[in-house]
Amino acid sequence: MLTLNRTKKFLHLFPGPYAYCPGSEGVDSTFDVYCTTTEQFLMASYYWDEQEQAELEARTVAIALTHCLMDKPSANPEFLEQCSELGLLDFREEYPGRYRAVRSHCDYHGPGYEILCDGDESAAFIRSGTHTRLIAQHVAACLNRMFAALDNIESSNRLAERISQ
């Protein structure tokens, strides 16, 4: 659970918006998520062969973080369409939420935090560094918030369809 103080601290350090770009770390290729205002690195999605999956993870995190900047998260059907076009619904299918940050250790990257979904599937790994725990908790909270907004839109759409029939 992310408290108001932690959210304020995160937004003070990384005010957003957020984006992702290709990168590398050692022999690994990555997609790096960063704050566009401060140009500070937040996390990377690592890959050797599964480039599309790594890009989907980074894109989803960047969009979720930016979505959380909104005072009132988007509740319109266009947001659902945009998310579908960007592959976010594929991410949710692969890693069904609720999401949580859990301390872990990767044999290749060392200690850090994983963003786990309900099935204990790892949706992302955030290696240790400055503010790692804060970043991981904020990412998990933003994923939960964004997908809750999508669920509300989908529910409203289903209800509207039933009413119109």
Q: What is the pLDDT along the chain (165 residues), one digit of tens a residue?
A: 567 888 899 999 999 999 999 999 888 899 999 999 999 999 988 888 889 999 999 999 999 999 888 766 555 667 767 777 888 888 888 888 899 998 888 787 778 888 888 877 777 777 767 798 999 999 999 999 988 888 877 777 777 777 887
Task: Reduce the DSSP state of residue 32 to 3 states and report it.
Answer: strand
- The amino acid occupying position 126 is I
Predicted local confidence at residue 117, as pLDDT: 86
Predicted local confidence at residue 22, as pLDDT: 97
DSSP H helices in the chain: 4-13, 51-67, 77-86, 88-94, 132-164
Domain ranges, ordered by start, for the chain: 4-164
Q: In what order do the strands lie in the sheet with 18-25?
A: 18-25, 28-35, 41-47
Q: How far is CA 159 from the centre of its chain?
A: 28
Q: 43: Cβ–Cβ under 8 A, 6 or more apart, which residues?
A: 32, 33, 58, 61, 124, 125, 126, 127, 135, 139
Give this prediction's pTM.
Answer: 0.86
Task: Report whether 50 contacts 67 (CB < 8 A).
Answer: no
Tokens standing for residue 108: 């290749």
Predicted local confidence at residue 25, as pLDDT: 84
Residue-by-residue DSSP string for 85-109: HHTHHHHHHHSPSP-EEEEEEETTT
Tokens standing for residue 110: 């060392």
